[in-house]
Each structure stands twice: as C-alpha cells, then as structure tokens.
Amino acid sequence: MTLTLAVVSNSCTFTRNFDAMTIQEFFKADRYASLSGVELISAEQGRAKARMEVRDIHLNSGKMVQGGAIFTLADFAFAVAVNSLGKLAVSIETSIRYFKSVDSGVLFADAQLCNLHKRLATYEVRVTNEADELIALFTATAYRKDIALTFDS
C-alpha cells in the first residue's frame, strides 16, 4: 500500500509518496524530536507514550531541563496519538503547565484522547519522571485534515 500526501500551493502541486509503514516508522522522520532525543515507546489507536533521557543539551542556564525540551516531548507524543486515528492532523492550539523542575533522569509523556470530533481532536499529555511524579501537563487540539493515514500493524 502507498500513502500519498498532496499539497497544493500557489497553483503548484507537491506530492510525497510513502510506502506502507508502521506508525513508528512514519514518526522516525520527525527530525526535531529525534535530534532532541525523544523516543516513541508505544502507539495505539488514539494514544501514545514517549520518553526522553535528560542530557546536557536539555539543560538551561539554571541547570534544569528547559521548558522547550519538555514541550517537544509532550508535542511528539500528542502528534503520534492524534495521527494514529487515521487522518493527518495538525496542532491548532497547545498549552503547557509546569509543576516540577527536573535536572536529570528520564521523562515520559503519555498522550490520551479527551474528545474526538470529525474535524477536531483534543488531548491531554501527562509528562512524568521515573518516580511517576507529574512534571508538566500539556493540552492540545488538532485539526484533522481530509488526508487518510493508514499504518501497518
């Protein structure tokens, strides 16, 4: 099976073909998440879990994990979860609240569907540490395009 995405811009059409792949293979192409050290743990219909081992590149000048690194982890889990529903989806609103600072260890993001509509999907992503303490809470809404995504199991 081949997945084709077509984008029309200024009267030009750009098409990108994807051979049949799993959702894990599809999201390996997320270069920013990969460069940031974010790894997908699991993905199922409407839900995803990811992890990020804290490294020096994640630390701000106060030697704590920079908020953008935590946001990237949560956003990646959200992207995998919402796109697992079978339609290409893009974020239209996000919010994050930070509850506890972190300077080492592993962070986990668990994205769960809160509400699904034909065009919109709303998620909550809990970011926790290895002790399962809540580090941040990310909420997001995605717009679901009319572009079907079909993933192999």
Query: Tokens 């956003």 — which residue?
Result: 75
Q: Domain-by-domain residue ranges, the chain?
A: 2-7+15-148
Domain 2-7+15-148 has CATH 3.10.129.10: yes
Handedness of CA 150, 145, 25, 45 (dihedral sign): negative
Decide if 123 contacts 81 (C-beta within 8 A).
yes
State residue 131's pLDDT score: 98
Q: Render each residue's pLDDT in the chain as its tens digit; 153 residues.
A: 344 444 444 444 444 455 567 778 878 888 899 999 999 999 999 999 999 999 999 999 999 999 999 999 999 999 999 999 989 999 999 999 999 999 999 999 999 999 999 999 999 999 999 999 999 999 999 999 998 888 777
CA–CA distances in Å: residue 103 to residues 61, 92, 134: 11, 30, 14
The number of angstroms, rounded, from the C-alpha of 51 to the middle of its chain's C-alpha atoms is 11
State residue 19's pLDDT score: 58
Query: Tokens 């839900």 — which residue?
Result: 47
